[in-house]
Every structure is written in structure tokens, then in C-alpha cells.
Structure 1
């Protein structure tokens, strides 16, 4: 959170919030100047980490990202 705005960046500084709009909904409840450090992961239906699916999410924006968040 930065001045009431949710900021989501990769370790290289790439803005990632457009690809993961569901993060904004949850993070908006955090106090200002909060800086959680973590890692985004996607699980497949067998319960394994699915890096390819995560990469696919990074390509989606707008309505496509919102649909993917619901899935």
C-alpha cells in the first residue's frame, strides 16, 4: 500500500496488478505503508504448483484477468 494505492511489482520492478486484480481487493484492506513480501503461485487440479499457468496469468489484462481471477 502506498498512499492508499495498491502496488504489486515483480522483483524486477514490473507492475503486475493488471494481471492479478484479485490482489487489489484483498490488499486494499491493509493499512497504508504496508509492504508484504511474498510469492504468487498457481496450483493445478492435482495440487501441484503450475508455473505455466502463472505465466499465462501474467499475459492477461482487463476483462481477461478478471475472468481468470474468478477461475
Structure 2
């Protein structure tokens, strides 16, 4: 009986720790996916010729904003 009460007493903090670890894993996975998408988009943009970029109305200086999803948004800098 004493073992059961000790086990249940620790279940709260352990389950909270489990939720925190799961949340951290979700955040890590999302960050890794965003980084992968950013790198893929940058690679695709870097393959474009200057003529293609001019046709699209973008310059190489815009690549980071485009890849980060900030292109065309008001600057916060």
C-alpha cells in the first residue's frame, strides 16, 4: 500500500514532465521542418537565372525574405 501512495504522489510531476518533453519534441520537429523548407526554397531560388528573376520581379537580395515567408510584408527593421 505504501508503494502505491508514493507512486501516485509522483504521477503528477512525471506526467507534467512527459507533457513538457512532448511539447519540446513538437517544437523541435516544427523547427526542423521550417529549416528544411527554408533550405529547399533557397536552393530552388539559387538555381534561377537572372533573367528569370527579372521576369518574376525579384532580386537575389529578396531570397531570404522569400524563403522565410516575409516577402512583401512590412519591414520591422
* TM superposition score normalised by structure 1: 0.22
Larger radius of gyration: 2
* TM superposition score normalised by structure 2: 0.21
